Chain A
Amino acid sequence: MKWEVVIGLETHAQLQTKSKIFCGASTAFGAEPNTQADAVSLALPGVLPVLNREAVVCAIKFGLAIGAKITERSVFARKNYFYPDLPKGYQISQMDLPVVVGGTITINVDGNEKAVSLTRAHLEEDAGKSLHEDFHGKSGIDLNRAGTPLLEIVTEPDMRSAAEAVAYARKLHELVQWIGICDGNMQEGSFRCDANVSVRRPGEPYGTRREIKNLNSFRFLEQAINYEVQWQINELEEGRKIQQATVLFDPDTGETRTMRTKEDAHDYRYFPDPDLLPVEITDAWKAEVQAAMPELPQAMHQRFTSEYGLSAYDADIITSSREMAQYFLDTVAITGAANAKLCANWIQGDLAARLNKEDKAIADAPISPAQLAGIVQRIVDNTISNKIGKDVFEVLWNGEGSDADAVIEAKGWKQITDTGAIEAIIDEVLAANPKSVEEFRAGKDKAFNALVGQAMKATKGKANPQQVNDLLKKKLAG
């Protein structure tokens, strides 16, 4: 009998606020240790937290984006435990009344759509960092990150494979960047996942879960889950029981190992933080945040398939980031909706490949939507071939021309569409290549392509390829 895999994810998304969640210290990454640790970050005696309103706005945005309930009166609670990088001896988090409750994120794995239900998303502060490099034989503590706002996003145990978990994590990663609440930088730890994994026989109650902590890449997420699932199945099949535990994934060995079991789990002694008042989120505040929300990827996807005739696959790619979607919209605004499909091809084809090769973000593309639209328009009106289009793209990418028309003009790449002129060239090609003509007549189709190639070469690629094809066929038949 088969095993069913059950996965739930908890994701910590670092919110893009300028200052920390409970004080005015900066959240910028990479500063010298403890240069962004003010009195509140250091938890000096007597200091008090004051909530950063922007962090709440981020949480509201997220809630609205996933169709969740926004709690009218949410409460901050203290999670008490001792650790050197936790300066107060407690983390301010939310327990009973998180800002966001419920909501769904739709994923697509191998063409199958699935809605993953979210349990909740709550605001909390990040801890600092322990630096274990040698400081005169001691560990150092960097509190720059202490107090950075996080949104912890928790799903129901809805995913049934590592592939689904990764699809969810990617979708969430796209969404939080799309709505501008998280920079999504996984290397810097701005977006990190914990995976709760268990296995069971189909139809049976949930098995005992183990939580894999701090996965900061999609690849590690997938590897860690797959390893963990196999490990759990082996344990069960060999008659052992799974102990509830927190485990760590070692990317070097590809294995998970137990960090602590339920017996040594903390009692966090949550209670409402008496230093902070409940957060009242009024309908007016929600409406204000809603009004400032960008169109969401799902809505755009819908629009791109229905209004612009893109395939679901193309629309997926174009809506994978807000910047790419905007680039597409800006391009189509010039070419017209009728040419949207061609625009999409260029963006996810040549443009994406080139960006990828040079490790550039689409926002930094040296070729603008207007320039790309110019290329598309000239292809559509037969001024240039698709192939010449690629050459124009290259020139514009390298900053050697202002727009497609100027490049075509300067390079003399205007397509030859005059039938008489093309016929004359074909005659020359046929006369110069009797062997190919003979082979074609003997039934070798390849020879036809060679003749087309010769004709194109003779015109430096400028002849309209369709016309060359048609006329050459006619000549050879005649």
Chain B
Amino acid sequence: MPLKLSIVTAQRTIMERSNVSKIVVPAAEGQITVLPGHAALMSSLAIGEMVVYEGDQAEAIVIHGGFFQVINNVVSVLADGAESVDAIDLERAEAARARAEQRLQGRDTDLHGGVDVLRAQLALQRSLARIKVARRRRGGTGVPTQQR
């Protein structure tokens, strides 16, 4: 029996699939692979890439935190933000990474307090996840070949 998957954010529904064979999820405490028949699970999400497999096809999505649950082969992802591969602008992501890195390096001069450091770190994580997914897209599927 295949998995049913929905990825939603507060703004909109990002993805809805009913014939999913495998999902690799960036959970807060490490990557989790969900196959049909998985035990009921509730977990928070980290910033990272999620890979959705439908038979031979695979699709990568950038997830910006949130949480997800699995019950009876239904996977619900409540993301704080999510982007499909097509929505990622590689150049912008690279620029964001450079900006975040610069901020973190010069943290004593232009960052005040821990909040901005945290923000820069989060921005860096988001941009890295975007770049990772977007680079793979050049290979065609947006998915790591070694996992196939």
Is B one of A's binding partners? no
